[in-house]
Structure 1
């Protein structure tokens, strides 16, 4: 269901210059433990730990419209990490996007969301990164963004226009769980960084539920981050709170399975969160009214016409590809074997107007969901080297029309474009 905005959630801090962080006093142990939990809730490892790299040492390459950037070292190493950051320095970088030396961070770092993090949680995060993370000496790598686009001073103007300073304040008339969920989703969870559309200045069009565009879905880095409002077809309208909690804990439920960068969110973040916090997030998200979508009628399952076409696959090019490569996992009825194998009938990702996620996952597959140390048994394989662009377009058009999904056709040009984009980013 979800796709994470992995391309634009990095560049948190600049390197430091001071002595190694001290070993925490016994009284700080609780703060370090609490900070570790909050760092997981914020999914810091996903961006600041490169594949096969050391934790939080940075170096993960990420593509942006301006060029490739590389995530930074946020370990307490004094020369290459953040070892000389005071708590005030740390808070300013986290909430305002300003490094210790005064240079502005790219809004790739989701500091517009982190601006809402409360003082006590900033303090716990600081304790964890200074005393609970192993220092790693690894110099940061300069971005590939060329001059003059790599100049930082315009970011001061960007911040003046789009950064809403001030920590989250509980909304009157809402209960404790709702406010806790709103605080996590809007703040450390930074869900809007992926799931809210961006303006021409790369600003989120809304930062909370008061904006009509908030969490209505967005195209980011070759994936479409799903609509998280109550929209009935492409959003969470047909999901119960139990469905949503199951997805956040395991990455799969009766409606959909995680793919793309959302697998990292499940693996490194939400599965480690407490049941109470997951419950708070689901309560908040399920309270959001329907927004976005195409305004069409609510989905109603109807398998008959699709079953007939699959009984005569020679009549349809997409059906031929489906019977050869897809049917053994997703079934003739399109319902798969949820939650082990994702359904296609009524799946919000299938119903979404933008088919980017479907094209991407068909071409490139998805990484393993690893829940409590156990990899999921049936990850989506990559078919980019097996199917032609025409075959991918045909089978996805068939799926989007099947089982009464009534979604638009997929064009060959869309497949060609996304194949080139995803190959270039590797």
Structure 2
């Protein structure tokens, strides 16, 4: 669940997503005094909940000025400027314009936004929260004059008018309504997970038209895990091996606040979600999200029995690494962090035994993180001391396949082996342009 991610996302906030928090030292925009500061602050919190900084702030760029490249099945697009600059940002948007773009995917000038922006999730945001978000983006964000960049999508796929029909087929309008028979915490968690948190944008499989296969728990595919931009966003249902079935409520709350627990550590796009969003949420909202996620029935399992730890066979292999190519790589490069017993040193160094990412059918995340490492988790301003390094320049495709096959079989994990061709494919796609 490490890449539970934004999701995580990798998140899929494009064209005109809206949510994030202005840096504490950002200049106060002109006219801020005219706004209700309590409303602006509430909007800042809601924006952080939506983690739009991850999409709309480019590396070393100004907050929310856009320019971040994002890959889609159609080609590369560049996220837009959502500062209140009148010429290049959203300074000319009325609250109604803002609400329409946020919840219906239609910009002020009438053009349709690509569904890579998760407006099918934001459609569930209620009017009061839209008002607070609008106040924040108009009065809590410094305007930046920075022109938006055209996408690299080629004609005819770059035409926007067909998106009207996409919306007719897949957009479900209407703010979230509390489900009868569910308590306040469950409904709050459902609203946050399905709406502002847009967890399904990464963690729910998509259909042939790039639509999410389900938008809430009424669909069996909802949050059952999905491949996205070289990462596999984990299963967030109660599935007992690759999902959250073995996680306690405390385990999940700890992960959302710190990015690590006794089962796994965040990597990939989920690192950004933890850094920019969930660690700053109130304990009440974290508890609500956990209550909702823990209520989801298991989906997507392979019928295997629940994982139980067994170190014996792996210990024999590690005692004789010359006889096992994967064990040789593990003892040379992995064992000092993840341990002979595969249990790591949680929460600082992730365990491999029973880790949901290791047990998942799709090994993309394991291959990707082994090749490229991961960014730092930064909790309360302090970077994690032991980030995962990348081994693309150190290990060849066969060595990575060998060690990951060893890990996926080890400690009774029982997951399928990894082939060198799988590694080569991800190496090519993730190393391009580096």
Q: Given the two structures, how large is their TM-score scaled by the length of structure 1?
A: 0.97
Whether 1:8 aligns to 2:12 is yes
Query: Secondary structure of 2:188's match?
Result: helix
Per-residue CA deviation, residues 199-223 of structure 1 (Å, 9 max, x unaligned), is 0000000000000000000000000
Alpha-carbon contact 1:393-1:412 (below 8 Å) kept: yes
Whether 1:109 aligns to 2:114 is no
Q: For residue 18 of structure 1, what is the aligned residue in structure 2?
A: none
Query: 2:43 aligned to 32, 35, 38, which one?
Result: 35
Alpha-carbon contact 2:84-2:137 (below 8 Å) kept: yes
Deviation at 1:9, TM superposition (A): 2.1
Q: For residue 232 of structure 1, what is the aligned residue in structure 2?
A: 240
Q: For residue 258 of structure 2, what is the aligned residue in structure 1?
A: 250
Query: 1:313 aligned to 317, 321, 324, which one?
Result: 321
Alpha-carbon contact 2:259-2:265 (below 8 Å) kept: yes
Per-residue CA deviation, residues 281-316 of structure 1 (Å, 9 max, x unaligned), is 000000001011212111110001101110110010
Deviation at 1:11, TM superposition (A): 1.4
Deviation at 1:376, TM superposition (A): 0.4
- Tell me, in whole angstroms, the C-alpha distance in 2 between the residues paired with 1:356 and 1:378: 22
Q: For residue 299 of structure 1, what is the aligned residue in structure 2?
A: 307
Q: For residue 25 of structure 2, what is the aligned residue in structure 1?
A: none
Alpha-carbon contact 2:402-2:418 (below 8 Å) kept: yes
Deviation at 1:10, TM superposition (A): 1.7
Whether 1:182 aligns to 2:190 is yes
Query: 1:89 aligned to 73, 81, 97, which one?
Result: 97
- Tell me, in whole angstroms, the C-alpha distance in 2 between the residues paired with 1:87 and 1:31: 14
Q: For residue 17 of structure 1, what is the aligned residue in structure 2?
A: none
Alpha-carbon contact 1:400-1:406 (below 8 Å) kept: yes
Q: For residue 328 of structure 1, what is the aligned residue in structure 2?
A: 336
Query: 1:270 aligned to 270, 278, 295, which one?
Result: 278
Q: For residue 195 of structure 1, what is the aligned residue in structure 2?
A: 203
Deviation at 1:26, TM superposition (A): 5.6
Query: 1:74 aligned to 62, 71, 82, which one?
Result: 82
Alpha-carbon contact 2:17-2:52 (below 8 Å) kept: no
Per-residue CA deviation, residues 70-97 of structure 1 (Å, 9 max, x unaligned), is 0000000000000000000000000000
Q: For residue 215 of structure 1, what is the aligned residue in structure 2?
A: 223
- Tell me, in whole angstroms, the C-alpha distance in 1 between the residues paired with 2:356 and 2:300: 13
Deviation at 1:22, TM superposition (A): 5.6
Query: 2:298 aligned to 261, 274, 290, which one?
Result: 290
Structure 1 pair 238–231 and aligned structure 2 pair: CA distance change class (3 A): same
Q: Which moved more, 1:62-71 or 1:279-288?
A: 62-71
Structure 1 pair 26–9 and aligned structure 2 pair: CA distance change class (3 A): closer
Deviation at 1:63, TM superposition (A): 0.9
- Tell me, in whole angstroms, the C-alpha distance in 1 between the residues paired with 2:32 and 2:230: 42
Give the alignment of 1:76-155 within 5 angstroms.
76-155=84-163
Which structure 2 residue ranges, 5 or more long, are not aligned?
19-28
Q: For residue 423 of structure 1, what is the aligned residue in structure 2?
A: 431
Deviation at 1:353, TM superposition (A): 0.3
Alpha-carbon contact 1:13-1:73 (below 8 Å) kept: no
- Tell me, in whole angstroms, the C-alpha distance in 2 between the residues paired with 1:29 and 1:13: 23
Alpha-carbon contact 2:66-2:148 (below 8 Å) kept: yes
Query: Secondary structure of 1:310's match?
Result: helix
Q: For residue 204 of structure 1, what is the aligned residue in structure 2?
A: 212
Give the alignment of 1:313-392 within 5 angstroms.
313-392=321-400
Query: Secondary structure of 1:399's match?
Result: helix
Alpha-carbon contact 2:35-2:139 (below 8 Å) kept: no
Per-residue CA deviation, residues 211-263 of structure 1 (Å, 9 max, x unaligned), is 00000000000000000000000000000110000000000000000001110
How many residues are matched? 421
Query: Secondary structure of 1:422's match?
Result: helix
Deviation at 1:13, TM superposition (A): 6.2
Q: For residue 44 of structure 1, what is the aligned residue in structure 2?
A: 52
Deviation at 1:394, TM superposition (A): 0.2
- Tell me, in whole angstroms, the C-alpha distance in 2 between the residues paired with 1:135 and 1:377: 35
Query: Secondary structure of 2:265's match?
Result: coil
